Amino acid sequence: VTAKLRNNVIYEGIFHSCLLEGDQSIILKCAQRLETKADGETTRGEFLPILIIPGRDFLQISALEIPGPSSSSSSSSSSDRRQG
Instruction: From 1, 51, 61, select the one nearest 27 (Cα to Cα).
Output: 51
What integer pLDDT is reported at residue 68 of this predicted model?
83
- Residue pair 7/56 in contact (Cβ under 8 Å)? The answer is no
Q: Identify the bridge partners of residue 33 per DSSP, sorted by sequence position.
A: 11
Task: Encode the chain (84 residues) as per-residue pLDDT tens digits.
Answer: 999 999 989 999 999 999 888 889 999 999 999 998 889 898 999 999 999 999 999 899 999 888 888 755 554 444 454 454
Q: What is the DSSP string of 64-80?
A: -S-----HHHHHHHHHH
Distance (Å) of CA 29 to CA 2, 10, 51, 57, 64: 12, 14, 6, 17, 17
What integer pLDDT is reported at residue 71 of this predicted model?
58
